[in-house]
Amino acid sequence: MTQETPRAANGSSNGSTNGSTTGTSQPAASRRSRKSASSDYNADSIQVLEGLDPVRRRPGMFIGSTDVRGLHHLVWEVVDNSIDEAMAGHATHVEVRMLEDGAVCVTDDGRGVPVGRHPSGKDALEIVHTVLHAGSKFGGGGYKVSGGLHGVGVSVVNALSEWLRVESSRDGSVWAQEYSRGVPTTPVRKVGPQGDRRGTTTTFKADPEVFETVEFSFDTIAQRLRESAYLNKGLWIRLLDDRADRERSFYFEGGLVSFVRHLNKNKETLHSRPIYVDKREGSTSIEVALQYNDSYAENIFSFANNINTVDGGSHMTGFRAALTRSLNDYARRASILKDADANLSGEDVREGLTAVISVKLVEPQFEGQTKAKLGNAEIKGQVEAAVAEGIGQYLDENPTDGRRMIEKSLTAARAREAARKARDLVIRKGALEGMSLPGKLADCQERDPAKSELYIVEGDSAGGSAKQGRDRRFQAILPLRGKLLNVEKARLDKIVSSENIRPLVIALGAGIGDSLDLAKLRYHRIIIMTDADVDGAHIRTLLLTFFFRHMPQVMENGYLFIAQPPLFRVSTGKVTHYAASEAERDAIVKKLAVKNVTVQRFKGLGEMNADQLWDTTMNPETRTLLRAEVDDAAEADAIFTMLMGERVEPRKDFIKTEARKVQNLDV
């Protein structure tokens, strides 16, 4: 979750026009102003940004953002360099240490960064850390396979750090250099003999002048390091947190097979042994593991040179094509599909699938520095051929497993057709009745989705207060009655016909599942607003499950928010304050320092007057919203499966583990 600061959601122009002019009949002052502006644009206006200045001027171009996600991207850039050493066969251990002062130290036992005079006149160590697009990953001499193909990673980290120190242990000595915001503060110097040390140690502290927060998350880093260990079987990765005296180590001999087992640990699997493909095509390595479970969600994770390509790419396309073709071919060979039957679709064969795709290639073509999508066209055919061969062999050797997979896909196909008919019925019924929007929806006047908000509220009582308190120009209200369907345990046909979810789907206007079209979304701010009690938390979780499973694009584009209504109203009769927590309430009471303070605890939104709800929770100028984001899809999938899935035991274990952290139990 990320917090959004208060700001207006629907602006208006304060300017006015009293008359108009045509042709050249403009005021003399206006003509002089234009002439002056034109003459100011000359050769002196052209700026050349030297060294790492472009990074500090436009950090988002290099790390995606300056929020907590961009902050952690600094760690990924340094760790990826160490992982590259492991992929090249030169490193077996990587250590990440979170220091007490907020800095991060990354150490590997690889070859160490080269030192010595470069033809440019500077030391090679300094060039690597201060010059964009400088490194050994372009010509193939230093690395055959690398994640950091742009050669900007560590120099960008250096530019965006308050300070950075690098030590390179090689050639019999330990060499070091220090920097401040990308500028060397010391020369490259020998600081001691190499001894038993080898590799690189990089310590940096993120610059608070650049980032919104410089607080690194242990759990976020741990998840990424676990992922890297799965992708590099035999690599030992250790994470230490000096701030809280925590430590975690990751080592997996099973590689991707272990990864898939981990992802499916809280699910009932259709076959006990994951299908595993490991093939080399020339200089390209292709590794795939997949296993079906009894859920209705698809979870496919793709990597290229250990980089998580969250937007997929050519390797993902090749995998999906191979999967669909292989299962259809087997279904016909085994006479499960008859000649007259239609083929299974891609969506049918991916229901309940967990898969990890990892390719390692010499010249990866990523889209952007954040490497979200792989573009190498030749990889599609290579992955498709390797996966088709591997799946075909497995199905021939394990016919019972193959039949289970096909039967699940056929059930998914029937459910998909039922869902399509249900959607069509909803659309036709709405059109025939002349009422395409649900009756409980209090729509807004604005028709521009970018300026429109939809509040999803719990019950008619809260809905009444919200409708009275809203700004009807751009805020729409949709009350929900009762508990939502738990979509984690339901197929799409049942979801579409649900009396609670169908009005929400119609109100949003973008469709659902494979028919989802984000261009038709009627609101670009969808705000979940529930009571601050157990029931409200449950409804909020059900809604988050629905969006995560069936409208993930809404979350990916930053359109889903959670309202933060206050828990307390603190009043002296003349002065009123609102508090979001008990600590904030106590601080307000202490600050007021009078004996006649009245404290009211809001258990439900319906207890708040319309003006109170507007002032505290709905006014864009004063409210606080949390944006729902997916930082780690694999971890999010595991949490939703545990909390909302069919199996009870993982949920009981979670409750037992977390129960000690409960401070206030609302029963």
Q: Tell me how far apart the alpha carbons of residues 545 and 416 are, in angstroms, rounded to a whole number.
A: 19
Find how far residue 152's CA is from the centre of its chain: 23
CA-CA distances (angstroms) from residue 626 to 350, 525, 555, 569, 621?
32, 11, 12, 21, 15
If DSSP codes are grouped into helix, strand and coil, which group holds residue 37? helix
What is the DSSP annotation of 202-258?
EEEEE-TTT-S-----HHHHHHHHHHHHHHSTT-EEEEEETTTTEEEEE--SSTHHH
CA angle 431, 435, 436 (to 5 degrees): 65
The DSSP 8-state label assigned to residue 614 in this structure reads: I
- Nearest of 325, 306, 277 to residue 374 by alpha carbon: 306
Q: Is 527 exposed, middle or buried (0-12, 13-18, 19+ CB in 10 A)?
A: buried
Instruction: Respond yes or no: is residue 531 known to be catalytic.
Output: yes
Which pair of structure tokens corresponds to residue 286? 């292709």
Q: How many CB atoms lie within 10 A of CB 420?
A: 16
- Which H/E stretch holds residue 428? helix 399-432
- Nearest of 157, 179, 152 to residue 167 by alpha carbon: 179
Instruction: Respond yes or no: is residue 535 known to be catalytic.
Output: yes
- Which H/E stretch holds residue 96? strand 93-98
Instruction: Respond yes or no: is residue 514 known to be catalytic.
Output: no
User: Cβ distance 251 to 236 under 8 Å?
Assistant: yes
What order do you get walking across the sheet with 284-292 strand by strand? 275-281, 284-292, 353-360, 299-304, 307-308
Sign of CA dihedral 515, 518, 521, 525: positive
Q: Could you say which of 95, 167, 531, 615 is catalytic?
A: 531
CA angle 169, 173, 175 (to 5 degrees): 65
Which pair of structure tokens corresponds to residue 378? 């030749």
User: Cβ distance 198 to 208 under 8 Å?
Assistant: no
Instruction: Respond yes or no: is residue 339 known to be catalytic.
Output: no
The four Cα atoms 90, 91, 92, 95 give a dihedral, to 10 degrees, of 180
Find how far residue 662's CA is from the centre of its chain: 28
For 546, phi and psi rounded to 5 degrees? -60, -50
For 343, half-sphere exposure in the C-beta direction (CA atoms, 13 angstrom radius) is 12
The pairing of strands 93-98 and 104-108 is antiparallel
Size of the chain, expressed as the number of residues it contains: 667
For 81, phi and psi rounded to 5 degrees? -65, -40
Kindly calculate the radius of gyration of the chain based on its CA atoms and give it in whole angstroms.
29
Q: Could you say which of 167, 207, 443, 458 is catalytic?
A: 458
Q: Tell me how far apart the alpha carbons of residues 253 and 233 are, in angstroms, rounded to a whole number.
A: 5
If DSSP codes are grouped into helix, strand and coil, which group holds residue 532? coil
Q: Tell me how far apart the alpha carbons of residues 58 and 45 are, in angstroms, rounded to a whole number.
A: 19
The DSSP 8-state label assigned to residue 605 in this structure reads: G
Q: How many CB atoms lie within 10 A of CB 311?
A: 15
Q: Could you say which of 178, 347, 471, 533 is catalytic?
A: 533
Q: Could you say which of 535, 586, 629, 631 is catalytic?
A: 535
Catalytic residues: 458, 531, 533, 535
